[in-house]
């Protein structure tokens, strides 16, 4: 028993790359192409060029965001630095945990933990860094 004919067209591969660079999710792509999310997943399986274009677009977008975040962190942007440490430096054993107490005004306590592994010795670093939020 044959299913419905596909709505897929070869030019969709170029379109999906541009849409992925804009950050569209699979659900949003389905809305754009006026199909179901299940059909998007089917297209990924049946049309390798569609899947590759989708991956390429998402990687391109991710690279641009990472470059921007990195530049902001280097300029001293505290939030960008925290995101960088929390996401990128996790591979090196760093993690960041934010604690905020509404009774203490606008102070935010950022707790930086160094997680040791078999290859590293613990560094002698402060356990917490207090940052006073700007008003």
pLDDT digits over 45-97, tens only?
999 999 999 999 999 998 898 889 889 988 888 888 878 777 766 666 665 55
Check residue 60 and give its pLDDT.
Answer: 93
* pLDDT tens profile 104-134: 555 444 454 544 444 434 444 444 444 444 4
Say yes or no: 16 and 52 in one domain. Answer: yes
**Contact present, 82 and 90 (Cβ < 8 Å):** no
Say yes or no: 96 and 58 in one domain. Answer: no
Query: Does a structural domain hold residue 124?
Result: yes
Question: What span, in angstroms and rounded, lies between the C-alpha atoms of 108 and 87?
Answer: 19
Query: Does a structural domain hold residue 3?
Result: no
Question: What are the E-state strand segments in the chain?
Answer: 94-100, 107-114, 128-132
Structure token pair of residue 60: 């391109």
Say yes or no: 24 and 62 in one domain. Answer: yes
- Of 31, 11, 17, whose CA–CA distance to 59 is shortest? 17
Global pTM value? 0.62
**Contact present, 53 and 20 (Cβ < 8 Å):** yes
Query: Does a structural domain hold residue 44?
Result: yes
- Total domain count, the chain: 2
Full domain range(s) for residue 56 = 12-67
Say yes or no: 62 and 102 in one domain. Answer: no
Query: Does a structural domain hold residue 72?
Result: no
């Amino acid at each position: 028993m044959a299913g419905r004919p596909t709505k897929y067209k070869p030019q969709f591969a170029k379109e999906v790359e541009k849409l992925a660079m804009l950050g569209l999710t699979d659900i949003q792509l389905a809305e754009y192409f006026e199909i179901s999310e299940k059909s998007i997943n089917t297209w990924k399986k049946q049309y390798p060029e569609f899947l590759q274009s989708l991956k390429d677009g998402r990687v391109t977008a991710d690279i641009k965001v990472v470059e921007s975040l990195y530049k902001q962190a280097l300029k001293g942007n505290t939030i960008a630095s925290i995101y960088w440490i929390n996401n990128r430096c996790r591979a090196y054993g760093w993690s960041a945990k934010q604690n905020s107490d509404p009774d203490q005004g606008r102070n935010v306590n950022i707790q930086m933990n160094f997680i040791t592994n078999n290859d590293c010795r613990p560094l002698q670093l402060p356990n917490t860094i207090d940052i006073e939020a700007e008003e």
